[in-house]
Amino acid sequence: MNFSIGEAARTAGCKVQTIRYYEQIGLVSAVARTAGNQRVYSDESVSRLAFIRHARALGFSLDDVRQMLSLADKPAQSCEDIDAIARERLQEVNNRIRLLTSLKTELEHMISACAGGKIADCRIVQALSDHEHCDDDHLPAT
Amino acid sequence: MNFSIGEAARTAGCKVQTIRYYEQIGLVSAVARTAGNQRVYSDESVSRLAFIRHARALGFSLDDVRQMLSLADKPAQSCEDIDAIARERLQEVNNRIRLLTSLKTELEHMISACAGGKIADCRIVQALSDHEHCDDDHLPAT
DNA sequence: CCTAATACCTGTAGTAACTATAGCTTCAAG
DNA sequence: CTTGAAGCTATAGTTACTACAGGTATTAGG
């Protein structure tokens, strides 16, 4: 089956420009073109795009994806490396969940303490002004 | 007390350039300078920076922060709006936790299914190739 | 008082991972 | 045969910083 870039995008779950972007940065190789210079996608290239989108949705970086794709092209090798990447990802996901859970608690506290008063004594403003009480320097969850 | 930009950065928990960046985009106003043109920070400007960093760490965008800062400058007003921003944030945090939890499960499944075999039958690669079984189109958790 | 090491200054460019725009061409339907 | 949608390229914008280059200020030691 052949697909236009629009169909490929719908199938893979991304925008047309995203696919062109992936091609541009060399994450996927250029596909065939029609006489009129339009890209033609095979099942295989569409599923490669789906792989990428799925990995991205799982939080893998494009760099991770690049590694995994090159590994996936050597089917005879052991999948140790891919496993390692996935394990690292799991670590990060766990960290992020832990961080977000503590943020959730903090936000809930702030909200419940601020029962529609004046800003002058708003607990949210106070809580945010005052960094003392929280000793971890919780950095932005990139 | 007066602080150099370096001290302010250490206190607020960010890099020197980040402070200059906040000034540049007008998130904080320009502070006084020494005879030698170096920025001088008061306690108040440092705590404003700390406010920003703390809010950022809680996942508020710079745009949220901008709103909150302008609201915080009108202490006589009700804190309804700030409360609303915080509630919205809480919603997002909850969504993100939900998403990450399902990713965690998926990653764990993949990892346990891939017990050091060959890539040709690696479950991780298979799971990522195959988008069918997951019906939500879980977008990247920005 | 001089020097060397820091810390500061401005301005610009780079990062990730897209997203959007402009201005054009191609294609499919009626 | 025309019209509107979808495709093409190239370029610029987004968020929130971070890094660099090339220069000036400040401070501690000798």
Amino acid found at A21: Y
Residue whose entry in the numeric block shows the structure tokens 């502070």: B31
Q: Decide: CB of A24 under 7 A of nucleic strand C.
A: no
In whole angstroms, what is the distance from residue A33 CA to residue A45 CA? 13
pLDDT range class, residue B105, cuts 50, 70, 90 = confident
Q: Does the beta carbon of A71 lie under 8 angstroms from any beta carbon of chain B?
A: yes
Each residue's pLDDT tens digit, A79-116:
778 788 888 888 888 887 887 788 788 778 777 776 66
Q: For position B115, what pLDDT does the model report?
A: 66
Cβ count within 10 A of residue B130 = 13
Counting residues of chain A whose pLDDT is more than 70, the rounded percentage is 77
Q: For position A115, what pLDDT does the model report?
A: 66
Residue A30 has pLDDT above 90, yes or no: yes
DSSP B40: E
Distances B39 to A123, B46, B79 between C-alpha atoms, Å: 31, 12, 32
In whole angstroms, what is the distance from residue B1 CA to residue A20 CA? 54
Q: Decide: CB of B22 under 7 A of nucleic strand C.
A: no
Is the pLDDT higher at B67 or at A79? B67
In whole angstroms, what is the distance from residue B109 CA to residue A40 CA? 34
Is the pLDDT higher at B52 or at A112? B52
Amino acid found at B140: P
Q: For position B33, what pLDDT does the model report?
A: 96
Token representation of residue B10: 């250490």
Residues in chain A: 142
Residues in chain B with CB shorter than 8 Å from the CB of A56 are 140
Amino acid found at A116: G
Residue A135 has pLDDT above 90, yes or no: no
In whole angstroms, what is the distance from residue B53 CA to residue A131 CA? 9
Each residue's pLDDT tens digit, A116-133:
666 666 666 666 666 544
Residue B137 has pLDDT above 50, yes or no: no
Read off the pLDDT of each residue in B96-122 and give the average, rounded to a whole number: 75
**B15 Cβ partners below 8 Å, 6+ apart?**
B9
Residues in chain B with CB shorter than 8 Å from the CB of A113 are none
Q: For position B88, what pLDDT does the model report?
A: 83
| Backbone CA torsion sign across B55, B64, A59, A93 | positive
Residue A35 has pLDDT above 80, yes or no: yes
Q: Decide: CB of A17 under 7 A of nucleic strand C.
A: yes
In whole angstroms, what is the distance from residue A56 CA to residue A68 CA? 12
What is the pTM for the complete model shown?
A: 0.74
Give the nucleotide with minimal C1' distance to the Cα of A62.
Answer: C17
In whole angstroms, what is the distance from residue B123 CA to residue A72 CA? 11
Facing residues of B42 across strands?
Answer: B2
Residue A31 has pLDDT above 50, yes or no: yes
Q: For position A43, what pLDDT does the model report?
A: 93
Question: What do you get for the CA distance between the two ends of chain A, in Å?
Answer: 39
Q: For position B120, what pLDDT does the model report?
A: 61
Give the nucleotide with minimal C1' distance to the Cα of B38.
Answer: C8
DSSP A133: T
Q: For position A102, what pLDDT does the model report?
A: 80
